[in-house]
Amino acid sequence: MNSYQIAFGIGLSAAVLVILFYSLWPRRKKTNSVSSVTTPDLAAIAERKSMEVFNDTFREELRNRGRLHFEKVINENALFLQQDLRLTTNELNTFMKDEIQKVLKDEFSKYEASITSARDIALESIKKTQEVIDQQRAQLEKQMNEQAAEEKQRLIDRFEKNMADILNHYILDAIGGEIDLTDQLEYIFQSLEENKKAILEDVKNGA
């Protein structure tokens, strides 16, 4: 409860108290001439008696009572105000807490969603990049394997194609210095015998 509310409560209590005093304060009644003629003493007596009843002591008593009542009202109002203030403060705290939590929750949700989205995008990008790298690697591996196979086959083909020359070259290197035609005569005569018919035919045609 703020100071304005407290001041308002105090002012309200004071107004009530003034009205109470005003209503209870003794007033001089207006009498007509007939009655004053007829009952002049009664009015005086009544006034005197009332003055006796509402003497200073009684007034002081009323004043004290009013003061006590006023203090009581003030205390009660202050208590109520304090309770209201505490309740309002609690409600306000709860409201603020809820609002802040709600706002923070929303913001965190948005932030989390944003982070999640960014993470998903990054993961997707990484995944695509990885896929592209894997594809390129697979393609490169395939090309290299094909080229290696082609090169291997080419070498094998070349070796098989030129195998006779290669073997002849190695044999020539190995036995080049130890060639003896005498040892080869048997092989040469065997070859001549195998081709004898063709040679005869050739000589016959040439002649």
Residues contributing to the site for other proteins (CB under 8 A): 160, 163-165, 167-168, 171-172, 175-176, 179, 181-182, 184-185, 187-189, 191-192, 195-196, 198-200, 202-203, 205-207
Residue 95 CB neighbours (<10 A)? 11
CB 122, min distance to other proteins, A: 54
Tokens 């009684």 — which residue?
58
CB 150, min distance to other proteins, A: 18
Among residues 114 and 162, whose Cβ is nearest to other proteins?
Answer: 162
Among residues 53 and 203, whose Cβ is nearest to other proteins?
Answer: 203
Among residues 95 and 189, whose Cβ is nearest to other proteins?
Answer: 189
Given a contact cutoff of 8 angstroms between Cβ atoms, the answer to whether 1 and 88 are in contact is yes
CB 148, min distance to other proteins, A: 19
Among residues 134 and 151, whose Cβ is nearest to other proteins?
Answer: 151
Rounded Cα gap, residues 98 and 88, in angstroms: 15
Among residues 76 and 157, whose Cβ is nearest to other proteins?
Answer: 157
User: Which whole-number Å values give the CA distances from 11 to 64, 77, 80, in the listed order?
Assistant: 19, 12, 16
CB 147, min distance to other proteins, A: 22
Question: To 10 degrees, the CA torsion angle through 22, 28, 30, 33?
Answer: 180
**DSSP assignment, residue 30?**
P
CB 151, min distance to other proteins, A: 18
User: Which whole-number Å values give the CA distances from 110 to 96, 103, 116, 123, in the listed order?
Assistant: 20, 10, 10, 19
Given a contact cutoff of 8 angstroms between Cβ atoms, the answer to whether 10 and 56 are in contact is no
